[in-house]
């Protein structure tokens, strides 16, 4: 019989593992009154287990019940959501992956400095939407070089003095390389 080895990198990445652990910890502290803003991760089994233990999945801060603790999922959210949570008054825990949070910080700072922001990734992915939310939802989001070369995008790029390109953390490296090559 052949020997079976498990890869060292099998399982969740650091950010996802951290987010899942935070939700389970909050369930114990908050006696099951926990809601995640969207599914905490892209793993149906984990999400279903959390739901069985009492976690609600909501899509909008307005859906939070009084005294229910909110958890910002591993993909992160835009600045507007933090403002809404403050206004609503519910406690929350930020389970955004630290690598994603770092991209948020960079995008916010550079956007405030006047940089034009490009995001390589899937525009329907919550991580990309969250990143875009840190630059006023003004970024050009693309997943292949042809999207950058659309006339409206080229016109905006040609007017930009400073450009910052970032990527969805799960973006395929070959896609990133092809897109950045097109920019240069």
Is the model's pLDDT at 10 over the cut of 70? no
User: Of the residues 127, 138, 161, 162, which is catalytic?
Assistant: 127
pTM, to two decimals = 0.86
- Distance CA(163)–CA(176), nearest Å, equals 16
Tokens matching residue 102? 């770092």
Among this protein's residues, is 48 annotated catalytic? no
Higher pLDDT residue, 1 or 127? 127
Q: Exposure of 177 by Cβ count < 10 A (0-12 exposed, 13-18 middle, 19+ buried)? A: exposed
Q: Which of 21-25, 112-116, 148-152 has the lowest mean pLDDT?
A: 148-152
């Amino acid at each position: 019989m052949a020997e079976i080895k498990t890869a060292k990198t099998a399982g969740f990445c650091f950010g996802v593992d951290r987010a899942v652990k935070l939700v389970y910890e909050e369930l114990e502290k908050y006696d099951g009154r926990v809601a995640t803003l969207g599914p905490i991760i892209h793993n149906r089994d984990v999400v279903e287990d959390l739901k069985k233990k009492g976690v609600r999945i909501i899509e909008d801060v307005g859906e939070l019940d009084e005294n229910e603790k909110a958890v910002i999922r591993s993909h992160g959210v835009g600045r507007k959501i933090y403002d809404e949570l403050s206004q609503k008054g519910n406690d929350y825990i930020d389970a955004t992956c630290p690598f994603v949070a770092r991209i948020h910080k960079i995008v916010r700072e550079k956007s405030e400095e006047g940089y034009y922001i490009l995001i390589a990734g899937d525009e329907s992915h919550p991580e990309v939407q969250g990143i875009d939310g840190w630059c006023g939802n003004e970024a050009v989001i693309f997943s292949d070089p042809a999207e950058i070369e659309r006339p409206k995008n080229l016109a905006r790029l040609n007017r930009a003095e400073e450009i910052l390109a970032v990527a969805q953390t799960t973006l395929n490296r070959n896609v990133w390389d092809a897109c950045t090559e097109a920019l240069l």
